[in-house]
Amino acid sequence: MTQENQNTLSNVLLLVGLLVMAVMALLPLLGHNQMWMRWAFAAGAALTLVAQVMNRYTGDSLRIKRLYRIQIASALLYCASALMMWVDRGSNDWIAFMLSGAMVQIYSSWMIERLSARERREQDKRDTKSPRKGK
């Protein structure tokens, strides 16, 4: 599987996992709390974890590599949230894990885009300043 195909598959898995988790998190808050919803939330968290593990950075920036690992930690927080749904059925502690995972993911996604754009700009500047060979 090529890197581009793997990234596409990773993005699709991430999108499906996050959508499933969002819907299954909303339904118990609206008063619909059934067993299959916990299973679906756990499946969404597992999909998110698989997607984040598949998502690789091939560049040289150590900071961006660290942010990709932080996204894996975010997916682990989603899995902890799913576990809390099963262990502590009477409370809403799972919401804290889910929201903390979401905040970590939002921060790391934003920073990855920001740093990637900065790297592209710096690369473009270096390419325009370097003398062209063969002319």
44-88 pLDDT per residue, tens = 999 999 999 998 888 888 999 999 999 999 999 999 999 998 887
Number of domains in the chain: 1
Query: pTM to 2 decimals?
Result: 0.85
**Nearest partner of 35 among 86, 95, 91, judged by Cα:** 86
Question: When comparing pLDDT for 108 and 127, which is higher?
Answer: 108
**What is the predicted pLDDT for the residue at 24?**
92
Residue 7 within a domain = yes
| Residue 29 pLDDT class (50, 70, 90 cuts) | confident
pLDDT at position 129 over 90: no
pLDDT band at 132 (very low <50, low <70, confident <90, very high): low
- Give percent above pLDDT 70 in the chain: 96
DSSP state of 135: -
Q: Is the pLDDT of residue 26 over 60?
A: yes
Residue 100 lies in a domain: yes
32 within some domain: yes
Does the pLDDT of residue 134 top 70, yes or no?
no
Return d(Cα 16, Cα 27) in angstroms, integer: 17
Largest CA distance in the chain: 74
Residue 131 has pLDDT above 70, yes or no: no
Does a structural domain hold residue 134?
A: no
User: How does DSSP classify residue 59?
Assistant: S
> What pLDDT is attached to residue 60?
85
For 49, the domain range is 3-129
| Structure letter (DSSP) for residue 17 | H
Residue 135 has pLDDT above 60, yes or no: no
Q: Would residue 54 count as lying in a domain?
A: yes
